[in-house]
A and B are shown apart, each in its own frame.
Chain A
């Protein structure tokens, strides 16, 4: 829900409540005033009757044309004097309808006799009053709703504009692109505060990220030299005559450890470089030729581990960075062989803008959530460093190639798509 909508809802509910309440109180106040007027008129009437009685000694005759209905009735002398004012419904004999009347009843002594005088006046206009009040309330409500909608649409939107522009600017921000988003200039204090805060955070994050990346790159570089020393010393040690079998085994373990470390280091370095956008050059690459070359390179390894492969290759081209694209294909193709099983299969399909590689292997789908995260391994004791697919993903992101993993018919399938 948008802030406007939320605000509007609360605002309107309050408004409606307020107007209904004020309508009701208007009604009662006006009603009260009206009745008060009627009462005063009835008091007047009573005064006039009393005056008449004093002057004439009899009750005045009942005037039929008068709106006020006057009735007299004789009372027992013993009854206590009556004095009451009330609202009641009476049948209007003229219109034959029930109407609300304000009625005053009191006892009047006329020459020793006691009479009960009833003065009734119709409460007119209350219906009209109610209608008017309701109509006015509804009208005002409508006006307020329309006004607030217009106000929100025009003014609020304009007021919040810098906020939305800032949001849009943040949306385009990606760590590692070395681009701090541009926030709109505004003189509203809150937005200025927010923008400064965002800018500081983004700049800080970017700086930290750069430091981290440089660290990875420098660390990887620094590791190369000691690795080179270790490997060169090993190469010398194996030249010695008469190494024992135990020594040989230990040496070959050291060799493979060094190899893994070297690979890991190179992979980390490659990732750092991709993130640094150090592969900017673009060329037209003949994908058909490239794939054939790779398959040619790998098939001997596959034959050795009894993996069969079928390839359907059609002409295809891409305008991309040749170095990265080469690594991308190598990683995917070598993965298909490495994570395969004995007597397994590899299917390669190259079309104009798609490259699909499928392979047999583990019988369950890979975790597509973690697939591309660094150091993700299917099994912990794996010889591989778990960086291959993160490199693949990074390259795809960098080269605007869409990559998809699926597990169909016990085949692990990677699909590359490009424009």
Chain B
């Protein structure tokens, strides 16, 4: 699957590429309006990451062009503008999601994954993790026939970690994702430890390996590679 990153800041574009690029995704980049349009005309993308302020044009115009071309690519806007009006304008122009700069790459990862899931043909509603199946439509986790009950926060946490699998996700990013941006608890993120602990216990009780690794001082990593090997 291909992703297109339309962002004029090369440094940021590179970071996104490096983070999202994996065996699942390959990334292409466009740094201005015209090259972005060219790429859109030729290729099909699983998701387009779009900055609104571009050289030679506006990101909103690209959205209009996509509509005119009857393209159904999922679009995630990344913008420095963070007011409700800007969001609404972006979403009304056909974008699927709106993320304000500066963002955590893990947050971007989760949003892109969600868009890709929604847009994929089969309407993918399951994520398979080793012996586990996360049912997104019913928001439950299954292990074979057995159902593992998760709290709302545990479910969201698991989904977030899965969307960024094999990546270190900071506690800060987890708190912002689960509790929102306006919860400004700069002091300590320790309280998420108990959520992680409970989730880990539930996963291990259902017989799957300990996927969730703590990364000292930083955060957590849902590590599939290590457990497989």
A residues apposed to B, CB below 8 Å:
221, 224-225, 227-233, 235-236, 238-239, 245, 248-249, 251-252, 255-256, 258-260, 262-263, 266, 269, 273, 278, 297-298, 300-301, 304-305, 323, 326-327, 330, 334, 338, 383-384
Give A228 to B5 CA distance when docked, in angstroms: 15
User: Given known contacts A301-B183, A334-B182, is B216 in contact with A258 (CB within 8 Å)?
Assistant: no
Which one, A225, A249, A258, contacts B9 given CB within 8 A?
Answer: A225
Q: A221-B80, A255-B172 are in contact. Are A235 and B105 (CB under 8 A)?
A: yes
Complex-state Cα separation, A338 to B182, whole angstroms: 13
Number of residue pairs across A and B with beta carbons under 8 Å?
A: 109
Known: A225-B12, A269-B82, A301-B191. A231 touches B103 (CB 8 A): yes
| Complex Cα spacing A326 to B180, Å | 13
**Residue in A closest to B78 when the chains form the complex, CB atoms:** A228
Question: Which residue of A is nearest B216, CB measured?
Answer: A248
Contact A238 B218 (CB under 8 A): yes
Query: In the bound complex, what is the Cα–Cα distance between A255 and B82 (angstroms)?
Result: 21
Overall SS of chain B's interface: loop
Which of B16, B78, B106, B183 gathers most chain A CB within 10 Å?
Answer: B183
Q: Which of A230, A233, A239 contacts B168 (CB 8 A)?
A: A239
Cβ–Cβ contact B184 & A236, under 8 A: no
Establish whether residues A297 and B180, one from each chain, have CB atoms under 8 Å apart when the complex forms.
Answer: yes
B1-35 vs A: 1/0 string, CB under 8 Å? Answer: 00000000101100110110000000000000000
User: Contacts A259-B172, A304-B190; is A252 near B81 (CB within 8 Å)?
Assistant: no
A259 touches B218 (CB 8 A): no
B191 touching A258 by the CB < 8 A rule? no
Alpha-carbon separation in the docked complex, A269 to B81 (Å): 10
Which bucket holds chain B's interface residue count? 35 or more
**A-side binding surface: helix, strand, loop or mixed?**
helix
Given A229-B11, A248-B216, 5 more A-B residue pairs with CB atoms under 8 Å apart are A227-B101, A231-B102, A235-B170, A236-B15, A248-B218
The distance from the CB of B19 to the nearest CB of chain A, in whole angstroms, is 6
Q: Is B186 interfacial (CB-CB < 8 Å)? A: yes
- Residue B217 at the chain A interface, CB threshold 8 Å: yes
Q: Shortest distance in angstroms between B32's beta carbon and chain A's nearest beta carbon?
A: 16
Q: Which residues of B contact A273 (CB under 8 A)?
A: 83
A249 — which chain B residues lie within 8 A by C-beta?
217
Instruction: Chain A residues near B81: list those with CB within 8 A.
Output: 221
Once the chains are docked, how many angstroms separate the CA of A225 from the CA of B10? 11
Question: A255: which B residues are within 8 A, CB to CB?
Answer: 170, 172
Contact residues in A for B182 (Cβ distance below 8 Å) = 326-327, 330, 334
Give, as a whole number of angstroms, the nearest-CB distance from A78 to chain B.
125
A326 to B216 CA separation, bound complex (whole angstroms):
36
Q: How far is the CB of A239 from chain B (nearest CB, A)?
A: 6
Q: In the complex, what distance in Å separates the CA atom of A263 from the CA atom of B191? A: 21
